[in-house]
Amino acid sequence: MGDQGEAAGTAPSEARGRSALMLGALGVVYGDIGTSPLYSLQTVFSIDHGAVRPTHGDVHGVISLVFWTITVIVSVKYVTLILRADNDGEGGVMALAALVRRVHGHVRGRSAVVMALGVLGASLFYGDSVITPAISVLSAVEGLKVSTPGLSHVVVPVAATILALLFLVQRWGTHRVGSLFGPVMLVWFAALAAAGLAEIVERPAIVWSLSPGYAVLFIADHPYTAFIAMGAIVLVITGAEALYADMGHVGKGPIRRVWFAVVFPALTLNYLGQGALILNDPRSVRSPFFLLFPHWARLPMVVLATAATVIASQAVISGAFSVSRQAVRLGYLPPLRIRHTSPREIGQVYLPAVNGVLFVGVLVLMLTFRSSGRLATAYGMAVTGTFLITTVLFLVIARAAWRWAAWKLVLAGVVVGGAEITYFSANLTKVTHGGWLPLLIAAAVFTLMTTWERGREIVTEHRTAKEGALPEFIEMLHREGFRRVPGTAVFPHPTKTTTPIALRANVEHNHVVHEHVVIVSMVSENVPYVPEAERLSIDDLGYGDDGIVHVTVRHGFQDHQDLPAELRRASRLPHAEMRFDPDQASYFLSRGVLRLTRAPGMRRWRKRLFLALARNAANPAEYFALPETRTVHMGSQIDV
């Protein structure tokens, strides 16, 4: 009886936990794709001056394409397949690229290509991160023109104010309001489903649009129009990448369950309802989403839509913070100031530099385009490009790690990859009408990332030559017998094969060595997290009683880097060389003073860009959480 009672008590608890995770997934993952009904069908019927007409064949064909696009790209590719390719529970294109590199090993040419794809995908994501908040919030506030036409002139100022407030509150983190996101999005999807279902009940014939035959007939009857329309239909799956990128926040199980139980049905019902409305009243193509609701409900829906789009924007901004931190850890961005905004959730971070750049970009974009319809012409390039890169990397994982048969790879490549190539090609027609914008942003970010990575390689080569071999330096200390002074000196240094410049300078200029010398290497692994039991390794560097030791700290690209905390953990280990008080240690940072030269390795303009990035990099003391009052900077000139 006791066992039965315990089991009965456990089941409700597990059910509540599962429901909480599903509610969290609604708020964290589905904001972007959930707000696509605001502008996607309106955009489809406005492209090329009304090339897609509100006729029976066109409406049924468009709704059929919408449904099967969501089914193939989201339900099949992301929810069923891509979520399997997790990097220790984390997702996103950078994490996927790191996973591919780990599976394939570090073969130089292959590894470079894989990481280049990851960097390109991340760069395209930044383009998406600028457009999504602008188009989402604008499309929601534009509902004022439908509910209260007299307020049309305040749409842009109101949207700009909302976005300014959104970026302003980033510094306090999302954990304070995160508990509201899920319930708001649940109400949002319920409203989508209810409005769509009410229209379907009035005109049930629209349900026949779910047949793929209507999509085939639409393409066959109007091949060029259908091709152009696909550039707008892709808007219904913007945010699909978030299902994978935000997997680490809530887990793949809740993401899958909430998609099939809530999101997919609600989106399908709403798009069917909008299609039925357009067939009944062709004039409703000007705003089919808001006109789907009765007049009394339109203003409340503007408020709810604004809340939903703020949540969608928050998810994209948080994703940009996460991608930026991953890029820093993987060596494709300089150290950036990172603030952890939650005492419990390591994934909730705030990067002031990224936040500022995104805000300026979003504001300029909104004030330039001034409507969601014009912004829609710029949307799609970044999304479809990221889709293609994710598919390529996934197929590599499926072949190398899961040993998929050739027919499976071909089937996935043809069905999913073929659809994505079609959508990408259709969006190429937008390049001259605004589609150049996300490509320009992606090109700029890609240039920054690859320049930093290459410049870092050059500096490391030149710096290694100046540092000299650490074993030889240790031998010299023992041979010449330098005077030891009380205290502990900690030298952060990327490797134990060469000598920290600060340690060499301290010995050469002051002719002393501290009683305890700790060289610490923070090694970033191609995994999100490294278990605490596997983080630390200690090397006495050949002498067990000289007070000089090397500590390797392994961390994942999602782990928080706190060097003093790692030393406190190391000092508790039963190792003779670690008997010191980390809270009384002094930290000596080796700073390279970079000098521009004409040496080969990079073009001169890229060298200047690298130097600009290096000057604006975060202070290493802050990056490693070092105490300012006990940190000393010592440098040497390094040519670039």
Tens of pLDDT, residue by residue over 324-348, are 887 887 888 888 877 766 555 555 6
* Res 105 pLDDT > 80: no
Percent with pLDDT over 90 in the chain? 27
Strand-pair category, 483-492 with 512-524: parallel
Model confidence over 238-278: pLDDT tens digits?
Answer: 888 878 877 766 778 888 999 999 999 999 999 999 999 99
The pLDDT confidence band at residue 108, using thresholds 50, 70 and 90, is: low
Q: What band does 3 get if pLDDT is binned at 50, 70 and 90? A: very low
DSSP lists the bridge partners of residue 520 as: 492, 551
Quote the pLDDT of residue 352: 86
Among 402-406, 440-444, 508-512, 592-596, the least confident range: 592-596
Q: Specify the pTM.
A: 0.79
124-164 pLDDT, tens digit each? 888 888 888 888 888 888 888 877 777 778 888 988 998 88
Taking only the tens place, the pLDDT of each residue in 279-323 is 999 999 988 999 999 989 988 998 999 888 888 887 778 778 878
- The pLDDT value recorded for residue 1 is 42
Residue 340: predicted pLDDT: 64
Half-sphere exposure of 213 (CA within 13 A, CB side): 3
448 within 8 A of 606, measured Cβ to Cβ:
no
Percent of the chain at pLDDT > 70 equals 91
- Residue 13's pLDDT is 57
Q: How would you class 286 by CB atoms within 10 Å of its CB: exposed for 0-12, middle for 13-18, buried for 19 or more? A: middle
Task: Please compute the mean of the pLDDT values over residues 389-397 and round it to a whole number.
Answer: 91
Taking residue 360's Cβ as centre, other Cβ atoms within 10 Å add up to 12
Domain ranges (residues) in the chain: 2-434, 464-639
Q: How many CA atoms lie within 13 A of 268 on its CB side?
A: 20
Other CB atoms closer than 10 Å to residue 640's CB: what's the count? 20
Helix, strand, coil percentages (3-state) for the chain, rounded to 5, are 70, 10, 20
Q: 541 with 470: CB under 8 angstroms?
A: yes
Q: Is 222 helix (H, G, I), strand (E, B) or coil?
A: coil
Cα 468 from chain centre: 39
Of 70-74, 438-442, 533-537, 543-547, where does the model show the most confidence?
70-74
Would you state the pLDDT for residue 8?
44
Q: Do β-strands 548-555 and 631-639 pair in parallel, antiparallel, or remain unpaired?
A: unpaired
State the Cα–Cα distance between residues 540 and 282, nearest whole angstrom. Answer: 79
Per-residue pLDDT of 8-29, as tens digits, reads 444 555 666 677 778 877 877 8
* Cα–Cα dist 605/8, whole Å: 68
Least confident of 10-24, 29-43, 190-204, 512-526: 10-24
Cα 273 to Cα 194: distance, rounded to the nearest angstrom: 9
What does the pLDDT average to over 527-548?
82
Q: Lowest-confidence range among 87-91, 457-461, 472-476, 513-517?
A: 87-91
What gap in Å lies between CA 347 and CA 523, rounded to an integer?
A: 19
Secondary structure of 73-87 as H, E, C letters: HHHHHHHHHHHHCCE
Question: Does the 2-434 domain belong in CATH 1.20.1740.10?
Answer: yes
Helices 93-104 and 295-329: crossing angle in degrees, nearest 10, is 40
Confidence bin at 2 (pLDDT 50/70/90): very low
User: In this predicted model, what pLDDT tens digit does every residue of 194-251 receive, in sequence order?
Assistant: 999 999 999 999 999 999 999 999 999 989 999 988 988 998 998 888 788 777 667 7
Q: Which two tokens stand for residue 90?
A: 């984390």
